[in-house]
Every structure is written in structure tokens, then in C-alpha cells.
Structure 1
Amino acid sequence: MPLTETKDWALTVSYEVMLDETVLGAFATCEGLGIEVVLETREEGGNNAFPWQFATRLKYPNVKLTRPLSGDAERTVRWITGFLDSAKRVNGVITAKNSRGKAVLHWDLTDVVPVRWTGPSLNSDSSKVAVETLELAHHGFQVRK
């Protein structure tokens, strides 16, 4: 397919995160969306050419989201601190949006659990942007347009 055809390329992307009914807002980066097939290796007697490899299960790494600090951090911290009271896993959606704000792709995460929230390093001697990071564990995802 030639690149001249019109496509919804996710070039300038932001990621909007929603967990059940809680919208956590937009994030600037999203790392860790992936799938690893765990293999079990077996060697067969008399076969010196290769070991057999069998797929056993899928592993999903944690998703790490970062963004400049904003008022949305209050919603995120409130969700995390309230999580232990209910201990209820939630389903989530990460939506990639292009520079016009149009949704390009959605990842529907299953059984999301907060792992870590990290706030900014506050230093009045530095003029860096204050950044927050949210890390989520999950039991897999489906991709949809």
C-alpha cells in the first residue's frame, strides 16, 4: 500500500486513559503495551538439529504512562488510594489520538491493577517540566479501531 493513501497515522499522539467509569485524562507517553509468548523447550532424543518449542501462555508487561503534571493527577491519585478499599479490579481503555484529537486505536485492558504512581521531582533550581508517571498491571488486552 503506497504511503500516499490517506490513513489515520498516529503521528502526534496523546493517550487518553479510562478505567471503568473514571477518566484519568490524557497522557503524553505510553510504554509497555505488548504481548510475550512464553515458550517451553523440549529436547527430543536422537534429534540433534533443534529443540522443540511449545507455546504455553501469554505474558503482558506493565503499562507505564507519563504526562506533564496537571489537575488530572488528583483524579489518578484518588483512584489509586481508593483501590485498596474496594480491591476491585477494573477494565480500562487506552485510546491513541492523533494531533486533531481523533481516536486512532483503542486497547481494552482486562483486570487492571495500579502498580505505582510517581509524582514529579520538585526542585526550584530546575526549569524542567514536572512529570507524573502511572504504572498499571493487567491480564491482557484486545485491540479495536
Structure 2
Amino acid sequence: MVDYYPPWGFYFRVEFGISKDKNDVRFQMVSGLSVEYDTEEYKEGGENRFTHKLPVRTKYADLVLKRGMLTDSEVIKWFLRAFRDRDFEPTDLNVILMNEKGEPLKTWQVSHAIPRKWQVSDLNSGENALVIETLELTYRYFTVA
């Protein structure tokens, strides 16, 4: 029997439904793959030791992606259409964690994502650093496959 070791978190790709460009799958960081319940408190008459907390609806965090800035990107064109023209075209995307052979281990299928924020890192002539762009998306939900 082989002992199980958790996978490394550095080998992944992000596939957007709006882009087939191989550069648009490369990111240095993904965060926001989390879900939680909003709860509603219910106070029962005669029971003073506690209140019941009942689940109401699920809440998904915004998805944040970071990468070295690309000068030509379908994903950035999609972001700019949303901010410049107010053309919010939802897309699905997959965050795929891979093993050492480049095979998918786990896939988070994100549904109905739209741009929320685009940020470019500071430009500083006193530093020798990459320009990092941060893409923030809001979405309806994700499933795990």
C-alpha cells in the first residue's frame, strides 16, 4: 500500500471559455475558491441557552487571479469590454490542479464569471520587478470534479 501525499499547489492552469490562447492559462496565483453558508438565527421560545442557526444560502468568494502582465490577451480584452463598454459577457472557467505528469488531479468548474476588478502593479524605476496584473472575478458558483 502506498502512502498518500497531498498534492502540491504550484502546478495548475486556468482555462477560460472565451480564450484558446495558451498564455491565458498561466497564472502565478489563484485565490477565492471558497464557499460558505449565510445563516439566519432563530430564537426558540423557552430555550434561553442558545439560538438556532439555520443555513439560508451559499456565498462564494470573489476569484482572484495574478500573473505577469500580457501585452496581448483575450481575457484582458474581455475585461476591458466590460469596463469600457459595459459589455458583461459571462463565461465559465476551469481551475485545474495537475500532477507531476501534467494530468488533471482536481478541477474547479466556475460558472458564470464576470469581471469585477483589474489591477496592474505599481511601475517603479527603482525596482527590477515584473509587472503583475490582478484579475478579480465574481461568479455564481463552482463545482468540483
Same fold (TM > 0.5): yes
* Percent identity (aligned): 23
Determine the structure 1 residue equivalent to 2:139: 138
**What is the letter of the counterpart of residue 55 of structure 2?**
A
TM value normalised by structure 2: 0.82
Q: Cα 1:60–1:107, aligned 2, differ >3 Å: closer, same or farther?
A: same
Determine the structure 2 residue equivalent to 1:30: 30
TM value normalised by structure 1: 0.82
3-state SS of the aligned residue for 1:88? coil
**Which runs of 5 or more structure 1 residues have no equivalent in the other structure?**
none
**Which runs of 5 or more structure 2 residues have no equivalent in the other structure?**
none
Root mean square deviation of aligned Cα? 2.2
The number of aligned residues is 140
Q: Residues of 1 paired with 2:33 and 2:65: CA distance?
A: 10
Q: Residues of 2 paired with 1:21 and 1:79: CA distance?
A: 8
Offset of residue 41 of structure 1: 0.5
Moved more, 47-56 or 123-132: 123-132
Is 1:17 matched up with 2:18? no
Whether contact under 8 Å (1:92, 1:110) holds in the other structure is: yes
Q: Residues of 2 paired with 1:10 and 1:27: CA distance?
A: 18
Q: Cα 1:70–1:10, aligned 2, differ >3 Å: closer, same or farther?
A: farther
Offset of residue 21 of structure 1: 3.8
